[in-house]
């Protein structure tokens, strides 16, 4: 088993489902969808300057096997601690070449709260 596979843990893709609201309209409910293995790692956090304010923003990366059906703004939940993340880039931008023995892709993500 490769080191990458040993670092991975179970995740589920969260799917937003509209539910009727008694007051009219609808509200969102999140349900677990497809499961997959992945790992989240923290990248070095550079200082970000916006106008005259400098702040440090956490940068997280999710690493998944190639072919995992994640797209921009997908929401995923780590099964072990139920931490939720939202994908904020695309997997197509960061993939290993076809001839690589490690068939993985990565995307930027952020901590997220289901509402």
Q: How many CA atoms lie within 13 A of 97 on its CB side?
A: 2
Instruction: Report how far Cα 75 is from the mean position of its chain's Cα atoms.
Output: 6
Answer whether residue 49 shows pLDDT above 90: no
pTM: 0.82
Find the domain containing 93 and state its range. Answer: 3-19+26-111
Answer whether residue 83 shows pLDDT above 80: yes
Answer whether residue 48 shows pLDDT above 60: no
Q: What is the per-residue pLDDT for 101?
A: 86
pLDDT in tens, 30-43: 999 999 999 999 87
Element (H, E) at 78: strand 75-78
Give one DSSP letter per residue of 5-66, joined into a string.
HHH-EEEEEEEEEEEE-TTSSEEEEEEEEEEEEEEEEEPP--EEEETTEEEE---EEEEEET
State the total domains in the chain: 1
CATH of residue 101's domain is: 2.40.10.270
Assign 53 a pLDDT band (cuts: 50, 70, 90).
Answer: low
């Amino acid at each position: 088993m490769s080191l990458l596979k040993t670092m991975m843990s179970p995740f589920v893709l969260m799917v937003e489902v509209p539910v009727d609201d008694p007051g009219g309209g609808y509200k969102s409910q999140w349900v677990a969808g497809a499961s997959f293995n992945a790992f989240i790692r923290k990248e070095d956090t550079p200082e970000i300057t916006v106008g005259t304010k400098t702040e440090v923003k956490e940068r997280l990366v999710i690493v998944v096997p190639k072919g995992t059906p994640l797209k921009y703004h997908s929401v995923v939940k780590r099964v072990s601690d139920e931490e939720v993340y939202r994908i904020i880039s695309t997997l197509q931008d960061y993939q290993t070449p076809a001839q690589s023995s490690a068939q993985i892709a990565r995307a930027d993500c952020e901590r997220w709260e289901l509402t």
